[in-house]
Structures are given as C-alpha cells and as structure tokens.
Amino acid sequence: MTKIFSYILCFLMVVSCKKEGELFSNPSAEDTGITFTNTITETNELNILDYLYFYNGGGLAVGDINNDNLPDIFLSGNQVKNKLYLNKGNLQFEDISVSAGVEGNSTWNTGAVMGDVNGDGFLDIYVCAVVGINGFRGYNELYINNGDNTFTESAEKYGLDFDSFSSSAAFLDYDLDGDLDIYLLNHAVHTQDSFGKASLRNERNYATGDKLLRNDGDRFTDVSEEAGIFGGVNGYGLGVAVSDFNQDGFPDIYVGNDFHEDDYYYLNNGDGTFTESLKTHFGHISRFSMGNDVADINHDGFPDILSLDMLPEEETVLKSSAGDENVQMLEMRTERLGYHYQYTRNMLQINNQGENYAETALYSGIAASDWSWSALFADYNQDGEQDVFISNGIPKRPNDLDFIKFTSNEQIRKKLDNTKLVDQKALDLMPSGAYHNYIFEGKEALQFKDQSEKWITKDTLISGATAMADFDNDGDVDLITNNINQPATLYINKTDGKGNYLKIKLNYKKPNPFGIGSKVFSYQNGVLQYRELFTVRGFQASSEPFIHFGYPENTPIDSLVVVWPDNTYQTIKNVQPNQMLTVAKKENSALFNYSTLFTKKAPLFTKVEKNYGLDFVHEEDNYVDFNRQKLIPYKISDKGPATAVGDLNGDGKDDIFFGNSKFKPARIYYQTDTSFVEKTPVTVKNDSITENVDAFIADFNGDKMNDLFVVNGGGDFYGKMKPLNDVLYSNKDSVFVKTTLDAYFENASVVKPYDFDGDGDMDVFIGSDAVSYDFGALPNSYLFKNENGSFTPVKNEALQNIGMVTDAIWSDFDNDGTKDLIVVGEWMAPQFFSNKNSVLEKVMPSEEKLNGLWQSIVEFDMDGDGDKDYLLGNWGLNSKFKASKDAPMKMFYADFDDNKRTETIIATEKDGRYFTIANFDELSEQLVSLMRKKFANYKDFAGKPIEEIFDESILEKATVRYVHTLSSGWLENKDGKFSFHEFDSKLQLAPINTFLTYDFNQDGKKDILAAGNYFGVKPYHSRFDAFTGAVIYNAKDIQLTDKVGLNLSGKAVQKLNIVKIKNQDYLLVTINDNSVELYKLKNN
C-alpha cells in the first residue's frame, strides 16, 4: 500500500514539478494559470497541403495593459480563441479574455502585437489574420484599450481592418511626427511553381504585399507606394525588424522573406520614403528567412541582425532533409532572375557602421538551429554580452527527402486528384520536427556558445512566437513561447543576483508614451552597450517595452545616453547597476550628434575613379568544376588572374600585365605620361586559350630588358594539353619572343623568381595546385634553373612532390645570407627549404601539425623583435569546414568504385565521429554502385559516419589527407624555430588570398595589407565575402581597411600590387571575375 502511495506521489511530483534549466525554470500551466494551447486541427479540407503556413503558429504580445507595473500576456490562436492573461504578481495569471472582449473573430489568427495606437498611455493590441483563402474569414483586429481591462475592437475605424494574408505588424514612427506608424508584414500563399523574376515585387498586390501605414491621428493611411515599399506576389514576409541600422536618426526596416524572394532592407531616407538597399549592403542572406532580431552584439553602437532559417544541426535530420540548391540553379536565380545570393542557414550580419554587413554565423557558431521561428537577443545571464534564444520546431517536416521521393507519391496523389478523400495518412508519413528550443550564450569576439542543454531543459515543444518580459519584476529577462498543441511555456530567469543589470523604462511624450524608437547607449569601464526600444521582435510577437542591460561588474555605469525618437538626447552619469530606472524625457534637450558614432580616420586609400585607363575586367569562363568532379571541396579553376607590374618597354615607367581565364586574351597596359594604354603584343594575345594564374616581370635573359614569365593552369585542360605549358615572353626589340616550357604540364598556381644559385640570372620556382579531374592527386612543382634564358628543372624529389601548392616565397629564414624557399598549399603544412650551397634542402623548423588550406604567405617582423616572422593566409573560420589538431578535416582520395576515376570525399568531425560533407544524392550521383544498392532510402544513410557508409575494404584503398587548422595566422620566429599564432576574429571571416608589403601609414616601417574572399564553392558553403581587407602594423595593431578607404568585402581579391604612376605609389587590386581597382596611397 505504501508502495503504491509512493508511486503515486512520485508520479505526481514528476507531473507537477516544474522543469528546471540552470538559467530558466518553466513553471507549469497549472501553477501559473496560463493554460492557453494553440491547438491545430488538421482536416481534409485544411492542412499543410492547402495552406503553406499551416504550422507557423499563433502570435504573442506581452505588455502591461493596466499599468500596474506587471506585464500581461496576450496569445493568439490560429484556430482557437485568443487569450489575455492579467499578471496578478507572483507569477499568477488570470484569464480575462472574455470580459476583456479580445477572443477574436477571424478564422485564422497569426501575429499579435501591442502598441499604443491612439497614444493614450494604454497599450492596444493588433491581431493579424489570414483572410480570403481556404474559407478563412475576418480581418486584422485592433483592440483599443479602454483603460479598464476591457477593449473595443476598432480596426475599421482606424483603417486597419485588412482582410489579407498577414503575418505580423511592427510599430515605428518612420516619419518622426511623434505617433506610431505600422509596417504590416504580409505573405504570399500561392505556391507558384516557377520562381518568376525578382521584378515581380514591383507590382502591388493587396492580399500578399506588405504595407506601410502612416498614422494620421485617427486613421491610418496606406503610403506603401509613395514610400517605396514593395508589395508584390512573391513577398513571403515572415520576419520584420525595425532599427536605425545606419544611425542617421531615422528608423529603417529589415524584412525577412521566405523562399526565393530576397529579404528587404529599407533605408529610411528621412523624407517619408525608403530605399530598398539589400544588394548593396549584404553579401548574402538567409534563403528560407523566418523570424529575425536585431542587437548590437559587438559593442560598436551599430545594430547587428540575426536572420533565422531552417538548417538542421543534427546529422540524421540534416542528411534526410532537402537542403541547398545546386550551383547552376543558384546561378540562374541570381544571374538570370535577379535575386540575391541566398543560402539555407541562419545569417548573423555584423553591421559595419551602416556601410555593409559582414556575415559571421558560421564563425559565430549559430548557423544551424533547425526549424527556427523566433530569435530574441538579450543578456539573459547578465554578463555584459548579448545572448540569443531561438524557438524551434514544426509538427511535420515537409522537406523530408524520403517523404518527397518515396513515401508521398501514393498518398498525396489521391488527395490532389480528389480533395474529398481523407488524407491524414499521407501527412502522417512525414517525420515529426519537434526539436528543442535553442539558447546561445554570447561570448567575446562574435562567438556564441550553445547552452541549450544547460540553461534550459531540452524540450520536444513546437515553439513559435516568443516574447520577452520581466514577469516577476526581478530585473532579469524572462521569456514566453506560444506552442502548437502544447500550453504556452514561461521561461523564468533565475539569474537574479548572479549578474548585474539595469532595466530602463522610458517615459516619452504622447502620443508615444512608451518611447518606441528610443536608443540607449551605456558605457561602463569603456565598454559600450547599445539598445533600441522596438517591441516587435522575433516572430509574430511583441515584447514588454523596456530596455535591459547586463553588466560583468557591479560598478557604476559611467554614463547612459538616452536618444529619444525625436533625436534629442539626455545623459545620465554615474548610474548604479541592479536597479529599475525610469527615464523621462527632459524638455529642451539638444539633438544627438550621430557622427560621434562613426570612426573618423584619415584615409590611407583613395579610390581612383577611372583607374588611369586601366579598364581591365577579368572574366571567368563558364567552366563548372563540380560538373566534372562532383565531390571536390572547392573549385580549382578560379584562382586567377595573374597580374605583373614592371617596365616592359624600357621607358622607366611601370607597365602592367593582366592574365585572363581560358579563351580570353591577356592584356598588357603600357604607362604613358598621362594614362595607361592597352597595347597587348600579338604574341601574348594569340595565347588567349591559356588560363594565366600568375606572372612575373623581370629580366630573365640578361639583356637588361624586362621579360614576362606567365604560368598557366585553370583546372580544365588536362594530361599533356599544351595550354598547361608555362611561357616566357622575352622582350626583344619591342616584340615578345615566346619560349614554352613544353615538357611540363601542370595547373600552375604561383611563379617566384630568384637567383638561388647566385650565378647572376633569374631562376624560378613554379608551384602547382591540383591535377585536373583528379583532385587529391599531388601535382609536380619545379625549381627551374635558368641557363642563358632556357630553363631546366633541378632534381629535387621533396620539392617536386611537395603537394597542392598555392603560394611560395624566397626568404632567408635561416639567416645565412642566401634566400631560402618556403612553400604553402592546401592539405599540407608550410614547407621550408633551406638554400645550402645552391641546394634546397627540406628542413623542419616547426614541430606543429600545421596542415591547412593555406593560400598565401609573406615575410614580416610581426612582433618587432628584428627577425623574420611569416604571415599565413588560410581558409578562415567562417566556414562549414571544421578542423583541429585533434580532429583534423579529412580528404579520402581513391577510386572508390573501381571505374578508373578517382573520387574525393571530404569528412569532418562531429561529436567524435566523421561524417561526409556530401549528402546521399551527391554521393549516389558519383558512386551509384556503392550507394543506391546499399541504402534504400535517406533515413538509412542519414546520421551514419563515413566508416558505416563505406566498407572498410573500400576506405582502406583511400589516401587520406588532413587539415589541422583553418585559421589564418603567423609563424613566430624564435631563434630559427617557428610557432604558430592565430589571427583574431576579424581576419578569420574569409580566406586570405594575398598579402602586400608596403609602408601604408608612412611611419617608416613596413606594414602588410591582407586581402581575400572566395566564391568557388557549392551553395552548401555559401560565399566567403566578409573580409574587407586589413592593414597589419604589428601583432597587436591590425586594422580593417574599410575605415581607411578600402572596402574589399564582396570581392574575391587575387592580387595586390604597388604601381608607380608619376612618382606616386598606387595600390592595384586585381579581383577574380571583376574589374581591377586602383587606389592612391597616402602621400609618400
């Protein structure tokens, strides 16, 4: 009996026991009274087949509706009645939905937001609805707060009774006239088969188009058209964020659109209009954009953006879900139809002072959070860094590949042919997408740490709309989520005294008493934190109107600067943390000077508009490496062009050679007294078939005239095809005489001349990076000895088989007076060859495992100790590639299926096991005999490590190559031994392709300019476009160049050269598949 009793007791404890994470507890519905459940009922007439956003969930608005200083909760249901819960204190809530009159009349409710529409000091509620399809009736409802816990639905009166396909609405005062205007976010419901052109967004459509609604006091006026807001049939608006992104005093708008439509980035022109500017400010964006949020995560006073998508983190889900498009489809969507670069993953866009955004989600560790709806930034643990909560889950995964390809066929066809037929069966075949909510802890240097298992309990909820509030008035930030088929969940923050905080409520002038649009800058110990008050955030929700900061230390906040919506400001000095502060607007305060937020530095680089006649445009050819070798990790065909600077006609002026891609002629520009003139000699022009990857101008034949050495590659020519030969163009009587190194057929990557044997002529090292159609095989690199202008290879096995070479330098690393050779490359460590009596001998001055995807090397005294250190450009860390010394990235290279062709399979480590980067379809396409018979479906394949995908006997055949680090960094010289140091985060956001040595700041010491970015990867990887370029002065002083006049983000820089024009030094930037750029350097 006692046993039974204790069982019952135990059971009851488990049931009633509230769940606990380390940071948040989840009091139960019974305890709080919040029993609202957004119950979704699937019927034959209405399910995800009929309405694409059937699983998007309801809305959620939190705010103090009765001004008793306790935030109340409004939850909208898709098919169930809305609920309003009054906060009675002590986390007790009372359902007053019926008496308040807010249960709602629309058939299908979506987002719900609170804002003081009529400016009377009481929060009103706006509830969006989908109307006009599937028999959905009603309209967007506006509940005006009567001030006595009752509301009057007044949408028609205010002109807000839209019967369209609304997702959510955001409050902002875009015209700074003092009242709150509304941005209405709508979504398309048609699921047109073809993309259509991007220009579709220009034709307005009532039901699907977003709307900007100007508050004219007692009515709202649709000003979308005149304000420049798109409203087309392809807007799938799911996320909206308002923020003054460019800090000019006017609120701007970021709209996240699902599917192929681009997100919209509306910059407020300050005259009542907006300019959509996505493409000029973002390198790439999320593809299936869902909710988003904005916060300054790097303490620079500019808001950064997190846009959510649906990339799964877990291998089993990842490999059984439809993922990225293929290369050619992306090309069509971008180049032919006019859309921007979109990729399926979360994007963290770091705001570079309004100029452009550097996307760092992969580097930051928050790229994949599965089927994500809402993101809310806040300092949940109150340590001074912004954390982020991401709500997650979908009842059914409609992109499950087994469902798409195998199971759906029979069941769904019936449904389509005859809508009367029951077809729950088909839907039941889709796997559940109930996936836990995520919470990430913000760290320094743009890093986030997944704390989902610690801070919260891993749930199986399907959570959508999420809002923030301080429900228990203890100063830390609590959360609530609206869930599908489960009661809403409260997340009560238990940080309490463990961190330090400041909670600020604003008291602004009517009709915007809550001060929506205000900004607060907080400075503690020189650290800036910045927040704006916009309550509509995340997804289909609005949060309690307050501003919250966490602080690492319980020391006074030096100053708080509050900038009001009218751009006047007031400063409060010496504020104690750990208090709730109400700041009221002071009369006659001065206007805030936004220019103080922007870095002001004298530019080191000044763009030369017409390039002095250098009109060279490098054009890549149409060759797609992945069509030939479907599994290789990146292209080998886009490493050009070559650039060489030198005097080619003996007039003392710098001339320039630009190589080109295959079938496109190289160009030579001769400098005249006034400009550059293109006058390519016929010998060079006739060699247009070759792809010129590197070149050098020097006197190779000792006749005191400069010659041109060009090395060729391109990855398309193979075997003993002549276009792979490297060529010396000897300058004789102003014509070029061609000498071909006709016995050597390699994809050259670099040519580095040096008289290594001291016999007075220029010898050359030519490095090669890959073997065409045989990626993973080692090409041959050669040291050629110059004998009277003819070149013969020096026998040196170690050098010849060194690996997949990308760059090399001649540098006297052993300080014996002759230059030695250092070679870097991919899937290899930097290799040192000591020049001893004209023999290059391999030495090992570093014991570290340093295989990388090295792209570039330069000599530089980084630590100022007088010896030679070496800077190394690598792939960077903003990538899906993953490598460490303990868990290196692996390349398996073999003819796996015995068909006389090799395959290259890349695998990276995840939780101690190695998984292929390629998915089932990619592997099957290349290895049909090994894959399709072995795995009947995607489920069988997904989640399996590589040794379960391939039999041991097959894997054993493979040569394995490794990468131990992807970080760019430098080798510190310690008495001839080298140890590696990583650069900091700003140099890890993209591959660094090239370095240039020059005294840029004219302080008498050499500096290094680093540049990079790379796009030769599949859409799986997205684009590495975030590197603006950097000037490296020393180990401690590295400056991104966009602040000094050189912004190279979005450009795949291949070469940097100094060109002397009329005794002034200029920087020449050569960019793959783009025009060259010329910058005037600081006076010298």
Partner 1 sequence: MKRILLSLSVCFLLFASCQKEEKPIEVTSENLHEAIDQVVGIMIHDIFSPPVASRIFAYADIAAYEIMAQHDPNYNSLAGVVTDLKPIPVATETDNINYQVAALIAHMEVSKSLIFSEDRMEKYQDSLYTEWKNINETEFTASKDYAMQVVAHMKEWMDKDNYKQTRTMPKFTVNTDDPARWQPTPPAYIDGIEPHWMKIRTLAIDSASQFKPLPPPEFSLEEDSPFFKEVMEVYNVRNDMTEKGDASEEIAIAKFWDCNPYVSVTKGHLMFATKKITPGAHWIGITKIAARKVNADFNETLFAYTKTAIAIFDGFISCWDEKYRSNLIRPETVINQYIDENWKPVLQTPPFPEYTSGHSVVSGAAAKTLTSIFGDDFSFDDDTEVPYGLPVRSFPSFNKAADEAAMSRMYGGIHYRAAIEVGVKQGRDLADVVIAKLDKMTNEKIAFNK
Enumerate binding residues for partner 1 (CB under 8 A). 48-49, 52-53, 191, 193-197, 259, 288, 310, 322, 325-326, 328-329, 331-332, 335-336, 398-399, 403-406, 408-409, 412-413, 416-417, 622-624, 626-628, 630, 897, 899-901, 925-926, 928-929, 932-933, 936
Q: How far is the CB of 128 from partner 1 (least distance, A)?
A: 18
Q: How far is the CB of 899 from partner 1 (least distance, A)?
A: 5
- For 532, which DSSP code? E
**Is 418 or 788 the residue whose CB approaches partner 1 more closely?**
418
Nearest to 536 by CA among 268, 292, 247: 292
**Is 203 or 444 the residue whose CB approaches partner 1 more closely?**
203
**Is 630 or 785 the residue whose CB approaches partner 1 more closely?**
630
* d(C-alpha 1057, C-alpha 1053), whole Å: 11
Q: How far is the CB of 488 from partner 1 (least distance, A)?
A: 24
**Is 110 or 706 the residue whose CB approaches partner 1 more closely?**
110
**Is 195 or 782 the residue whose CB approaches partner 1 more closely?**
195
**Is 91 or 777 the residue whose CB approaches partner 1 more closely?**
777
* d(C-alpha 706, C-alpha 758), whole Å: 19
Token pair recorded at residue 1046: 């050189």
* d(C-alpha 108, C-alpha 103), whole Å: 12
Nearest to 212 by CA among 262, 263, 252: 252
Helices (H) and strands (E) in the chain, counts: 20, 72
**Is 775 or 881 the residue whose CB approaches partner 1 more closely?**
775
Token pair recorded at residue 1008: 């290094």
Answer left, alpha or beta for residue 134, where phi above 0 means left and psi between -120 and 50 means alpha: left
Q: How far is the CB of 70 from partner 1 (least distance, A)?
A: 39
**Is 193 or 1003 the residue whose CB approaches partner 1 more closely?**
193
Q: How far is the CB of 340 from partner 1 (least distance, A)?
A: 17
Amino acid code (one letter) for 8: I
Is 205 in contact with 187 (CB distance < 8 Å)?
Answer: no
Token pair recorded at residue 1074: 């783009």
**Is 263 or 387 the residue whose CB approaches partner 1 more closely?**
263
**Is 403 or 980 the residue whose CB approaches partner 1 more closely?**
403
Q: How far is the CB of 412 from partner 1 (least distance, A)?
A: 5
Is 825 in contact with 769 (CB distance < 8 Å)?
Answer: yes
Q: How far is CA 937 from the centre of its chain?
A: 32
Q: How far is it between the farthest Cα atoms of the chain?
A: 111
Looking only at the bridges linking them, the beta strands covering 93-95 and 109-115 are unpaired
How does DSSP assign 861-884, residue by residue? -TTSSSS-EEEEE---SSSS----
SS3 assignment, position 644: strand
Q: How far is the CB of 48 from partner 1 (least distance, A)?
A: 5
Q: How far is the CB of 637 from partner 1 (least distance, A)?
A: 12
- For 594, which DSSP code? G
- For 403, which DSSP code? I
Q: How far is the CB of 937 from partner 1 (least distance, A)?
A: 9
Q: How far is the CB of 333 from partner 1 (least distance, A)?
A: 8
**Is 29 or 777 the residue whose CB approaches partner 1 more closely?**
777
* d(C-alpha 851, C-alpha 966), whole Å: 9
Is 450 in contact with 364 (CB distance < 8 Å)?
Answer: no
Q: Write phi, then psi, for 800 (nearest 5 degrees).
A: -65, -40
Residue holding tokens 């979504």?
187
**Is 196 or 943 the residue whose CB approaches partner 1 more closely?**
196
For the stretch 395-419, what's the b/e string if a residue is b when 16 or more beta carbons lie within 10 angstroms of its beta carbon?
bbbbbbbbbeeebbeebbeebeeee
Q: How far is the CB of 329 from partner 1 (least distance, A)?
A: 5
* d(C-alpha 149, C-alpha 151), whole Å: 7
Size of the chain, expressed as the number of residues it contains: 1084
**Is 425 or 932 the residue whose CB approaches partner 1 more closely?**
932
* d(C-alpha 370, C-alpha 310), whole Å: 5
**Is 310 or 949 the residue whose CB approaches partner 1 more closely?**
310
Q: How far is the CB of 932 from partner 1 (least distance, A)?
A: 4
Q: How far is the CB of 111 from partner 1 (least distance, A)?
A: 18
For the stretch 895-913, what's the b/e string if a residue is b when 16 or more beta carbons lie within 10 angstroms of its beta carbon?
ebeeeeebbbbbbbbeeee
Nearest to 1041 by CA among 1070, 1008, 1005, 1065: 1008
* d(C-alpha 966, C-alpha 878), whole Å: 9
Q: How far is the CB of 1053 from partner 1 (least distance, A)?
A: 25
CA angle 363, 365, 371 (to 5 degrees): 130
Q: How far is CA 739 from the centre of its chain?
A: 47
**Is 288 or 754 the residue whose CB approaches partner 1 more closely?**
288
Residues 6 or more apart whose CB falls under 8 angstroms from that of 951 comprise none
- For 56, which DSSP code? S
**Is 197 or 425 the residue whose CB approaches partner 1 more closely?**
197
Is 241 in contact with 219 (CB distance < 8 Å)?
Answer: no
Distance (Å) of CA 934 to CA 33, 623, 974, 1020: 53, 33, 54, 25
**Is 136 or 813 the residue whose CB approaches partner 1 more closely?**
136
* d(C-alpha 269, C-alpha 1034), whole Å: 41
Is 906 in contact with 893 (CB distance < 8 Å)?
Answer: no
Residues 6 or more apart whose CB falls under 8 angstroms from that of 918 comprise 631, 905, 906
Bridge partners of 1010? 995, 1030
**Is 53 or 745 the residue whose CB approaches partner 1 more closely?**
53
